[in-house]
Amino acid sequence: MILTIDGVRKSFTGPEGSVRVLDGLHLDLAAGETLALTGESGSGKSTLLTLVAGLDAPDEGRIMVSGQQVNALDDSARAALRRTTVGLVFQQFNLIPSLNVAANLAFQARLAGRLDMPWLEEVTGRLGLSDLGNRYPEQLSGGQQQRVAIGRTLAARPALILADEPTGNLDEAAADRVLDLMLELSRDSGAALLMVTHSKRLAGRLDRRVHLSRGRVA
Ligand SMILES: Nc1ncnc2c1ncn2[C@@H]1O[C@H](COP(=O)(O)OP(=O)(O)OP(=O)(O)O)[C@@H](O)[C@H]1O
């Protein structure tokens, strides 16, 4: 398994006291498998991705990524896991404002030590970004920024892609092209994909669908 989520609980303290968002969640994802995570707004989908990425810690339970227990690692080991193994496409694109599009696209692959120019060019072309290489993030539309964020992650060929509504700013045709590319990467290099989506149409193209409700798999 590239990902095992075992008995994960997570609560947040808000104005009305403690609210349990994840309540003993179990989920497995095999290498190369693609899974759509659905659930109503506030059901904990983004929280789960944040925990898997090691950006926050569960209150209880275990999250294993590629044989390593994420929540038992120290900060630098968690950062190394994100650099080498886990690719994130989150709703905040986190592009680097001082780098142009071409450099943003290469950034993650370079950090991971996997910069592969033919693959980078293919990703850039397939995402329709070839003519935008010299622009800076602030000169891009929301959908263009989203495609750069996706390209940067895919260019690095991570073993596990965590994507939170990765096509939320794109029209249907562009969303389909992005998913084509993710599914192809999954097929060709065995990458697993855990994707949050509200789109039944996109969810239907993945291997499995899991619905979160009341902090558990429904
Ligand atoms: N850092 C935080 N502090 C307090 N509450 C939080 C925090 N992060 C998330 N929550 C709460 O946890 C619940 C789950 O949030 P989460 O963002 O995981 O939901 P979601 O399923 O991704 O929703 P959406 O589909 O709207 O993006 C919400 O009630 C949210 O307000």
Q: Is any ligand 1 atom within 6 A of the Cβ of residue 141? A: no
CA 93 – ligand 1 centroid, Å: 18
39 pocket-lining for ligand 1 (C-beta < 6 Å): yes
Which residue is closest in CA terms to ligand 1's atom 10? 12
99-102 contact pairs (CB < 8 A, 24+): 99/136, 100/133, 100/134, 100/135, 100/136, 101/129, 101/132, 101/133, 101/134, 101/135, 101/136, 101/137, 101/140, 101/148, 102/133, 102/134
Report the alpha-carbon distance of residue 62 to residue 56 in Å, rounded: 13
> 0.90 exceeded by the pTM?
yes
Q: Identify the pLDDT of residue 189.
A: 86
Domain with 39 in it? 33-57+72-217
Question: Is 66 a domain residue?
Answer: no
Residue 73 DSSP class: S
Residue 145 counted as domain residue: yes
The pLDDT, as a whole number, for residue 41 is 93
Round the average pLDDT of the chain to a whole number and report it: 95
How far does the centroid of ligand 1 lie from the alpha carbon of residue 86, in Å? 21
How far is the centre of ligand 1, averaged over its atoms, from the C-alpha of 44 (Å)?
A: 6
pLDDT one-digit tens code per residue, 150-184: 999 999 999 999 999 999 889 999 999 999 989 99
Establish if 5 belongs to a structural domain: no
Longest dimension (CA), the chain: 53
Is 1 among the domain residues? no
State how far the alpha carbon of 187 is from the alpha carbons of 13, 20, 101, 156, 206, in Å: 41, 36, 26, 15, 12
Q: What is the DSSP letter of 144?
A: H
Is the C-beta atom of 158 inside 6 A of ligand 1? no
Structure tokens at 168: 């939320």
Q: Is there a domain that residue 141 lies in?
A: yes
Per-residue pLDDT tens digits for 103-119: 999 999 999 999 999 99
Domain count for the chain = 1
Report the CATH number that the domain containing residue 90 is assigned in CATH.
3.40.50.300
Domain membership of residue 22 (yes or no) is no
In testing the pocket of ligand 1, which one of 40, 46, 162 has its CB within 8 Å of the most ligand atoms?
A: 46
